Amino acid sequence: MPDATEITSKFVSSKPQSIALREVTALFLRLGFTAFGGPAAHIAMMEDEVVRRRNWLARDQFLDLLGVTSLIPGPSSTEMAILLGYRRAGWRGLVAGVCFILPAALIVAAIAWAYVAFGKLPQVIGVLNGVKPIVIAILLQALWRMGRTAIKGWWVGLIALLAMIANLAGVSPLAVLVGCGAAAIAPEMARHSRKNDGVPATITAIAPAAKAGAAVTPFKLSTLFLVFLKIGAVLFGSGYVLLAFLRGDFVDHLHWLSQGELLDAVAVGQVTPGPVFTTATFIGFVLGGWRGAAVATIGIFLPSFLLVAASGPLIPRLRRSRVAGAFLDGVNSASVALMAVVGVELGRAAIVDVTTVLLAAGSLVALLRWRVSSTWLVLAGGVVGAVASWMR
C-alpha cells in the first residue's frame, strides 16, 4: 500500500508548470461542458482522458486517488478533478476543480434565471413534469446499486432501517449519519473493550434534534452560505444523498422551498453537465438571484478543496483502521436509507398520472436493463413532457 508521501506527491508531473497548467485547464474546462451522466460517468471520462489517452498517471495510481475521494465527504467527481489537477500541475493545478465546476454553474444559473422568469408558463412546466419522473428512476437505480454495496450484513442493514425510522421521525440527516457511524463501530469497539453499550440507542438518543418549528425563517445570504458550507463539509456518498440534506434544511427547517421546487432543482442538476452539486447554484439563484447563486456555489464546493488538500496524509491510516472502516460502513448505509426516504417523498410529487408512471417505469427498465445514458433519458422526458403539455 502506498504511504502518505506517495499518495500526495510522488506522481506530480515533472513537465514545466506553465505547460502542465494549460493542459489541466483545457481538459477540465472541456469536461465541465461535456461531462453528463453523474459522478460515476464523470470519473470514467476522467480515467479515459488522463490514463488511456494522455498517460498522465498509471491506472493503479488513478485508483489510489479514487480511494481518497471515497473516504472524504463531498462530490467525488469534483474531488477527483482537484486531485488530478494537483498531480499534473502542483498546487496551481487545483484550478482543475474550478474549471470543472464553473461551466455547469453558469449553465444552471442561466436555467434558474429562465425558471424564475418563465417557470410558470405551461410549456416550461410541461418540460419539468416530464423530467421529474426520469429523476425518480435515476434515483432508484442509484439506490439499488449503492444498496447492494453498502448493506454489508444484518447489523449494517439494521442500522439502515433505524436511519430510515429516525429520518421519518424528523431527525436531521447529519445527526442520522453521525449516529449510524457511531452505531456501526460498536462491534469493533466491543472486540477491544469487551463492552457493549447497546449502540443502536445512539440513533434514538439524537432524536431530540427533531423537527424545527413551522415558521418560515427570513432569507439571508449568510444563512444560505453556512447551510451549503455545512452540506459540502459533511455529505458522504452519492450526490443523490444531497436531496436528503436539501429537503431537511430548505423544505422542512427553513421553509424556503417547496417539495416541487426542490424536485425542479434536482431535475435541472440532472439535465446539465458537471457536478450534481450545482443544484445548489439553482437553489441559490431562485432564493437570492445572482448573488445567491454565487454564495451557494462557493459554499457547497469550498469544503472539497480544503478537504482534498488536508486529507492526503490521513488516508493511509484510515484505510488500515478497522474502526474507521466500520464508521464509514455505517455512514454509507445511512446514506442509502436517506436516499430511500427522499425517493419515496419526491416520487409522490413527481408520479401523478399515467404519463409520468410510464416515463418512470420505462426509464428504470432502460437504466437497469440496457444502461441507457441518463442524459438521453432526461432529454427524452423533457420532450415527452412538452408534447403532453401542448396536447392538453
* pLDDT the model gives residue 348: 86
Q: Which of 352, 277, 354 is nearest to 125 (CA)?
A: 352
Q: CA Rg, the chain, in Å?
A: 21
Q: Are 88 and 56 in contact (CB under 8 A)?
A: yes
Of the candidates 170, 175, 253, the one whose C-alpha atom is nearest the C-alpha of residue 213 is: 253
State the amino acid at position 48 in one-letter form.
D
Is the separation of the CB atoms in 252 and 210 below 8 Å?
A: no
Q: Which three cell numbers stand for residue 40?
A: 460515476
Residues of the chain with pLDDT under 70: 1-17, 37-38, 40, 67, 70-71, 120-123, 192-215, 236-240, 311-319, 375
DSSP 8-state code for residue 216 = P
Neighbours of 318 (CB within 10 A): 17
**What is the rounded distance in angstroms from the CA atom of residue 219 to the CA atom of residue 56?**
46
Buried b (16+ CB within 10 A) or exposed e, 145-178: ebbeebbeeebbbebbebbbebbeeebbbbbbbb
Return the domain boundaries, the chain.
Answer: 7-101, 107-112+146-349
Residue 95, C-alpha cell as written in the block? 484550478
Amino acid at 301: F
Q: Are 350 and 263 in contact (CB under 8 A)?
A: yes
212-228 pLDDT tens trace: 445 678 899 999 999 99
Chain length of the chain: 392
pLDDT in tens, 316-361: 566 577 888 788 788 878 878 887 887 887 788 889 889 999 999 9
Please name the residues in contact with 213: beta carbons below 8 A apart, sequence gap of 6 or more. none
Alpha-carbon distance of 76 to 43, in angstroms, equals 8
**Cα distance between residue 219 and residue 228, in whole Å:** 14
Q: How far apart are CA 127 and CA 196, in angstroms?
A: 54
- 8 Å CB contact between 300 and 164: no
pTM for the model: 0.68
pLDDT at position 314 is: 66
> Three cell numbers at 291?
448573488
pLDDT at 136: 84
3-state SS of the chain: helix, strand, coil percent to 5?
A: 80, 0, 20
How buried is residue 6: exposed, middle or buried, by Cβ count under 10 Å (0-12/13-18/19+)?
middle
Block residue for cell numbers 458522504? 236
- Single out the residue of 138, 177, 184 nearest to residue 157, CA to CA: 184
